[in-house]
Amino acid sequence: MKKIIIFITVLIFIPFFIVIIYNKNYKEIELKYISTTYIRVKKLKDDTIKKIPLEEYIVGVLAGEMPISFELEALKAQAVASRSYALKRIEYNKDKEYDVVDSVMNQVYLDEEHLKEAWGINYVKNINKLRTAVNETLDEYLEHNGSIADALFFSTSNGYTEDSQNIFNFDCNYLKSVESPWDKDVSSAYKYQKAMKLTEFYKKINIPYSKNLNIEILKRSTTNRILLLKINNVEFKGTDLYNKLSLRSTDFEIELLGEEVKITTKGYGHGVGMSQYGALGMALEGYSYEEILKHYYKDTEITKLKN
């Protein structure tokens, strides 16, 4: 009986000792703080609002928004973009109860408690990589004509980013379409297919069922994304279908196969601003984070927060 107890005890504590030995090889990097800027984050899980130092928040956003496997220069570009986005929300919401929520509605934010549990033995190694990206871009944000740039970003382009006017109905000089040829080679989400029953398709877009499916593309943007189309003589915006059908992109093709509809998309996300996988592709080719940001956000400058 004693042998069994000892054996079970050893099994329980082996992982604990492995973690200790593994993490001895990594000393946790301290996060630097210069500015005294805080952001008010609403955590949707428990409906609480937490006031977090901005740089700590950016670390959590990097963890939530970009794979830890990404190149450091891509992570640094994301850090500056996310800091700019956060500062813009602080500016917009100064008279409100909170600045951002911790989901895709703004930026996904993961706290240290979550990351320690998720990463386990790799926590110190991973958190050091993210803190390095934040420390090496400390207090940096994008500015356009003296104002904080609203640095939008998304996962994967279809080869081009999209004009903000075509997706969000506002014109912005630094959110114009640019080429992004890297995505195709580095993102598994570049091309995607989904299928659904014809009955489900009609239900989702709220038009009467018909055995016939007539698709007429009325207008595409210069990036091949659909702006306007007709389905059985009912007019839709491309963004309408993007939302109603939970598509990955507004660059899509719809095909009827018997009683099933097949939808093929290129790219992933709204398409405005920086493509994250495009940033990865650029980093892999040796571009710096400054060059990545300059490519995706035209006519912006990297500026530092003033204390």
User: Is 277 found in the same domain as 257?
Assistant: no
Name the domain count of the chain.
2
Angle at 15 between CA 10 and CA 19, to 5 degrees: 135
Binning the chain into helix, strand and coil, the percentages to the nearest 5 are: 40, 20, 40
Structural domain contains residue 106: yes
What's the mean pLDDT in 269-274? 98
User: Is 230 found in the same domain as 123?
Assistant: no
Q: What pLDDT does residue 26 have?
A: 74
95-100 LR contacts (CB < 8 Å, sep 24+): 97/40, 97/42, 97/49, 98/40, 98/41, 98/42, 98/49, 99/39, 99/40, 99/41, 100/39, 100/40, 100/41, 100/42
Structural domain contains residue 214: yes
Nearest 10 degrees: Cα torsion 140, 143, 148, 149: -100
Structural domain contains residue 288: yes
Q: Is the pLDDT of residue 261 over 60?
A: yes
Q: Is the pLDDT of residue 200 over 80?
A: yes
User: Is 149 found in the same domain as 44?
Assistant: yes
User: Is 288 found in the same domain as 195?
Assistant: no
Q: What pLDDT does residue 17 have?
A: 45
Q: What pLDDT does residue 18 have?
A: 44
Calculate what percentage of the chain has a pLDDT beyond 70: 92
Q: Compare 203 and 1 and report the one with higher pLDDT.
A: 203
Confidence of residue 35 (pLDDT cuts 50, 70, 90): confident
pLDDT tens, 164-192?
999 999 999 999 999 999 999 999 999 99
Say if CB 307 and CB 287 are below 8 A apart: no
Domain containing residue 221: 191-266
User: Is 278 found in the same domain as 258?
Assistant: no
Q: Is the pLDDT of residue 3 over 70?
A: no
β partners of residue 141: 303
Structural domain contains residue 174: no
User: Is 262 found in the same domain as 287?
Assistant: no
Structural domain contains residue 29: no
Strands of the 301-304 sheet, one edge to the other: 147-148, 140-144, 301-304
β partners of residue 230: 216, 235
pLDDT tens, 8-34?
444 454 444 444 444 445 799 999 888
User: Is 125 found in the same domain as 211?
Assistant: no
H or E stretch including 147?
strand 147-148
pLDDT tens, 95-139?
999 999 999 999 999 999 999 999 999 999 999 999 999 999 999
User: Is 279 found in the same domain as 258?
Assistant: no
User: Is 148 found in the same domain as 295?
Assistant: yes
Structural domain contains residue 170: no
Structural domain contains residue 295: yes
Q: What pLDDT does residue 25 have?
A: 58
User: Is 277 found in the same domain as 256?
Assistant: no
Q: Compare 6 and 245 and report the one with higher pLDDT.
A: 245
Q: Is the pLDDT of residue 1 over 70?
A: no
Residue 202's contacts (CB-CB under 8 Å, 6 or more residues apart) are: 208, 209, 210
For 63, 117, 188, 203, the CA distances from 113, given in Å and listed in that order, are 12, 6, 29, 41
Calculate what percentage of the chain has a pLDDT beyond 90: 89
Tell me the two tokens of residue 262: 């097949």
Structural domain contains residue 230: yes
User: Is 150 found in the same domain as 42?
Assistant: yes
Query: Model's pTM, two decimal places?
Result: 0.89
**Average pLDDT for the chain:** 93
User: Is 295 found in the same domain as 233?
Assistant: no
Say if CB 227 and CB 219 are below 8 A apart: yes
pLDDT tens, 204-216?
999 999 999 999 9
